[in-house]
Structure 1
């Protein structure tokens, strides 16, 4: 079965999002983190359904979830997708993605 795994940058994004929301509501923060992880696992079932975002990441795709954009790429030999970033919609995605270097 296809699965999603998280690049260290995406893991840090998830921690940052959880911490930010926890400032107001710890229970909601933990629930939202679980929602994000579940959405990522569901995306692994249909990786091509995301919007192509080659202008930000060669072979990359993205999909929205609430106020966030999930960036990922397919890893066919592992029957998986790699979650690269989870960014709030208000952030400068082009700068962030341009400044990152993802190994293949």
Structure 2
């Protein structure tokens, strides 16, 4: 058994989003995502087969769902459970401060 830290080994502003799988088991995956100004490309929507429980640990972001008129503003501590096949996109992440997400994907 090892102890790890969610805020360790975050890459400095590389221009790329950093994705790290923290745990993977059948029907379950936990991932840390570090964004530094990244957003979904125009017209792109996530539409995953599995559910996703998402919590914002640091930074700020805007998340939009296809069936909603405006994006949701996310601050540290905010979380959302996204059902399978729910179309959503990241509209904005803070370019000045690392936005750290914890995503739990489940069957």
TM-score of the pair, normalised by structure 2: 0.27
Give the structure, 1 or 2, with the largest relative contact order (CA under 8 Å, sep 6 or more): 2
Name whichever structure is richer in strand by fraction.
2
Name whichever structure is richer in helix by fraction: 1
**TM-score scaled by structure 1?**
0.27
